[in-house]
Amino acid sequence: MVPMAVVSILANLLLLFPDLKHSYLTEGHVTPEARWCTGIWLSGVVVLVAARGFASRYTKEGCCLFRADMLCRTAYSCVALCAAALCFLFNTAGLANGPLCYYNGTDGLEWGRPLKLQNVNAVNYIHDPQRWNSACLKPHGVVMWNMVLFSTIMAASGLQGVICLVQIIHAILGAIFGPGFCKNKVAPA
């Protein structure tokens, strides 16, 4: 979970600085989904805090304490799963809507999202690579920048969600069946 959280945080930080310049952020020319920083605070901080709650060793002695620990792990895992899912959804929207950039529109040069779908029947820019280079004038390469970084955050939060789901199932089964669940014990004959 820690490597995925670090990747998510770094990718979101890079999204805030297209073309590796801070002027776009200070002037407000960064995609709103990147400014929401869901890769930092949802898939990063919240998942790390929740993962800390379910990553400790089984130190509880006794049946009731063990089951209470499993229920706490289930709660932590549910929080982490919700955070990872929300991060995945917000970044999916950022990827689907395209980057905020300086482009040649109908009213001349302007800042906006030229690749955002205007109607349901239109082809999304992701499936039309010919549009990537010509869509935005500034920042240079922002279409590919956003696609790679939003996809990276989505992959990291998706993997976090899968790990959290497995942890939820494990904790629920541990709470039901007790501390000896999934431990092979061979008794001498």
Digit-coded pLDDT (tens) for 29-76: 999 999 999 999 999 999 888 887 766 665 556 667 777 888 888 888
| 9 band by pLDDT with thresholds 50, 70 and 90 | very high
Q: What are the pLDDT digits (tens) for 118-155? A: 777 777 788 778 877 788 888 888 989 999 999 999 99
* The pLDDT value given to residue 61: 66
pLDDT of residue 84: 94
The pTM assigned to this predicted structure is 0.85
pLDDT surpasses 70 at 16: yes
Average pLDDT of span 21-33: 90
Q: Where are the domains of the chain?
A: 2-104+124-177
161, HSE (Cβ side, Cα atoms, 13 Å):
15
Give the tokens for residue 10: 């770094």
The pLDDT tens digits of the residues spanning 71-90 come to 888 888 999 999 999 999 99
Q: Which pLDDT does position 123 carry in this prediction?
A: 75
Given this model, what pLDDT does residue 141 score? Answer: 87
- Cβ-contact 154, 95 below 8 angstroms: yes
Per-residue three-class SS string for the chain: CHHHHHHHHHHHHHHCCHHHCCHHHHCCCCCHHHHCCHHHHHHHHHHHHHHHHHCCCCCCCCHHHHHHHHHHHHHHHHHHHHHHHHHHHHHHHHHHHCCCEEEEECCEEEEECCCCCCCCCCCCHHHCCHHHHHHCCECCCHHHHHHHHHHHHHHHHHHHHHHHHHHHHHHHHHHHHCCCCCCCCCCCC
**Would you state the pLDDT for residue 85?**
95
Report whether pLDDT(160) > 80. yes
